[in-house]
Structure 1
């Protein structure tokens, strides 16, 4: 009788230890997941290139991650997805959302490494631009971005504000090149196009990599193409030479953020 009791008590003890260890493992796993989610949280969320049938969402993350955008015409039904232009894990994320209707409200959330993120409990929202029958003549600016070591800066965000109008953006190519059709610039209300004078309309450019930025002021005539921009420097291509900075510069351009 005594011999059969000892294994039973021992078995119960082993089970209790297993339950405690399991609880600790689950607790630690939850902490790990929360920490990982915070590191993958989208930062510097910005909407640009708002047109009649499309818009662009860009953001950065503290860790390399994969991302996409869930979107729809209702905040309660984000049933469609748009994938990141950058296919590999990255600190930079750039998603084009297309196939939309003019002058219509859309909602979206960002998925980063499998977790959905929103705007403090609500989906982000925006209105597409109203339809305009008469389109302006094509006007394109371009340039090149280099790292501090002189190599091409690939997959870097380039933002532009032309004549105080709506927000434009693009990504650099594998050669560090960028191209932006400034003729697509609308006023902030999106109901008309900005009138552009190549010799006098101010352009502000802001470049953002994972850890470094650069900014420049120019006119359209000096951006066809613009002189190369090196990350970590501020430029004025209108009149003054570049400034060498020992730290990451603050942008001269006001970048609207929707965080």
Structure 2
């Protein structure tokens, strides 16, 4: 007895062909719809400050909120990850625009190398890790002398979590982070001379120095003042420049510019930028620690096509070996 076969109707053929085409489209689309990881924001205005015999501070800003950390590279030991002090206090990493990391528990007169971490990316200095040498241990610091003040946002509210840099002539850069009420304090008496081998000598009432406030996208402020009026420094508002050499009471003129009581415009006379010998640790460049594979997204992923596409990145000149596990394994370089 012969088995009967039915010839598919036209409608059946259309359904079969449509299903085949749809399956191909879905398979191919699967390769195209795999998202690539977003690039981490690049650190801006990276600065090294508060260098002592056992610690140093690294600070920077980002254009968007991101997590931040420092990876300290130790010879013969595991790399050490140091979080922003505010993250250490609450036990989790938070995204923020202003980043401030204290690296401590170090050895005197030793050179340390580090990279900056932002979200999932890491950054070095034009292909090499950042480098800093801790200072020699010194005897007890001179008499305590602390500069302090308050930082205000552009709308006059307390500016929390912005960086206040203090630069005395011939001294190393010092810094502090403003608190919840916008307040800040920097011990001037523990600032070292440029070479780090001695405490800085300065006049407690007549030294002219500069302050720079960095709030990232929220704005900056700078001021030039003397040690005679820094307890406290008059409030500094982001977006303004100040000159307190003649008076500690700035006023606003008809144009809205901040001026001293003598009437001279701070933007014309302060000279804060030339006095403030501030330079960032740039150039800051993305760190390529190795090869990354963006598509397929994960190891062992099943690929539903006989012509898979691979996307990724890595250092120039690197060799990549790809192996596809199947009935007949395929590998190539």
Name the TM-score, length of structure 2 as normaliser. Answer: 0.68
Q: 1:156-214 CA distances to partner (integer Å, 9 max, x unpaired)?
A: 11000112310100111111110000111112211111102112222210011123111
Q: Which residue of 96, 118, 124 corresponds with 1:118?
A: 124
Q: Which residue of 172, 178, 189 corresponds with 2:184?
A: 178
- Counterpart residue number, 1:99: 105
Q: 1:88-138 CA distances to partner (integer Å, 9 max, x unpaired)?
A: 321100000000001101111111112222222221111011122343222
Matched, 1:217 2:218: no
Aligned length: 249
Provide the C-alpha distance between the structure 2 equivalents of 1:155 and 1:62, rounded to a whole number of angstroms: 15
- Taking the TM superposition and a 5 Å limit, the aligned residue runs for 1:56-135 are 56-74=57-75, 79-87=79-87, 88-135=94-141
Change (3 A) 1:7 1:120: farther
**RMSD after superposition:** 2.6
Instruction: Name structure 2 gaps, 5 residues minimum.
Output: 88-93, 259-266, 283-333
Deviates more, 1:93-102 or 1:237-246: 237-246
- Counterpart residue number, 1:18: 26
Instruction: Name structure 1 gaps, 5 residues minimum.
Output: none
How far off is 1:7 after superposition? Answer: 7.9
Whose Rg is larger? 2
The question of whether the paired residues in 1 share the 8 Å contact of 2:210 and 2:272 is answered with no
Provide the C-alpha distance between the structure 1 equivalents of 2:123 and 2:199, rounded to a whole number of angstroms: 33
Matched, 1:167 2:168: no
SS in structure 1 of the partner of residue 85 of structure 2 = coil
- Counterpart residue number, 1:239: 246
The question of whether the paired residues in 2 share the 8 Å contact of 1:43 and 1:60 is answered with yes
How far off is 1:9 after superposition? Answer: 6.2
Provide the C-alpha distance between the structure 1 equivalents of 2:80 and 2:24, rounded to a whole number of angstroms: 47
How far off is 1:62 after superposition? Answer: 0.8
Q: 1:18-42 CA distances to partner (integer Å, 9 max, x unpaired)?
A: 232122213xx22x623xx2xx221
Name the TM-score, length of structure 1 as normaliser. Answer: 0.86
- Counterpart residue number, 2:55: 54
How far off is 1:218 after superposition? Answer: 1.3
Provide the C-alpha distance between the structure 1 equivalents of 2:47 and 2:136, rounded to a whole number of angstroms: 20
Q: 1:228-254 CA distances to partner (integer Å, 9 max, x unpaired)?
A: 1111111111116647549xx796223
The question of whether the paired residues in 2 share the 8 Å contact of 1:67 and 1:112 is answered with yes
SS in structure 1 of the partner of residue 33 of structure 2 = helix
Matched, 1:257 2:280: yes
The question of whether the paired residues in 1 share the 8 Å contact of 2:69 and 2:116 is answered with yes
Matched, 1:203 2:209: yes
Provide the C-alpha distance between the structure 2 equivalents of 1:14 and 1:124, rounded to a whole number of angstroms: 53
